């Protein structure tokens, strides 16, 4: 797991000028919360790394980090569908980001409270 965080820091620092410090912290937090649920679902750490890189490159470069657990599933799906077109995601990338978001959602649901929109 340390390798994933190290790679995330490298990727975020190299050529991602619009990914500010607050986004870096938020992304690291989301990855950490998703990790245990990702592996429970049978996905490798390498797949989690690909998902988090994709999130950085296709989402966090353009806007603040949004926590999927702050939204209802239907509202999150609405935004994923809309932003997938804007970010030019192919079907595999959209599915991977949706799985990443689902792992974050499960992790947050197990935590204290949530602020769903």
For the chain, the structural domain boundaries read: 2-110
Tally Cβ neighbours within 10 Å of residue 34: 27
Tell me whether residue 93 is exposed, middle or buried, using C-beta atoms within 10 angstroms of its C-beta: 0 to 12, 13 to 18, 19 or more. Answer: middle
Q: What is the mean pLDDT of residues 87-109?
A: 84
Mean pLDDT of 17-41: 71
Name the DSSP letter for residue 57: I
pLDDT tens digits, 38-58: 777 777 888 888 888 888 888
With 70 as the cut, is the pLDDT of residue 1 above it?
no
Is a pLDDT exceeding 50 seen at residue 107?
Answer: yes
pTM: 0.66
Say which residues have a Cβ less than 8 Å from residue 32's Cβ, sequence separation at least 6: none
The one-character DSSP state at 44 is -
């Amino acid at each position: 797991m340390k390798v994933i965080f190290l790679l995330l820091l490298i990727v975020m620092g190299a050529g991602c000028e619009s990914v500010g410090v607050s986004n870096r912290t938020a992304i690291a937090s989301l990855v950490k919360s998703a990790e245990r649920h990702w592996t429970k679902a049978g996905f490798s750490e390498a797949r989690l790394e690909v998902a988090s890189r994709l999130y950085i490159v296709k989402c966090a470069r353009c806007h603040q980090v949004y926590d999927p657990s702050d939204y209802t599933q239907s509202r999150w799906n609405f935004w994923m569908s809309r932003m997938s077109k804007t970010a030019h995601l192919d079907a595999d990338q959209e599915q991977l980001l949706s799985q990443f978001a689902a792992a974050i959602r499960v992790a947050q649901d197990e935590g204290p409270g949530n602020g769903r929109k």
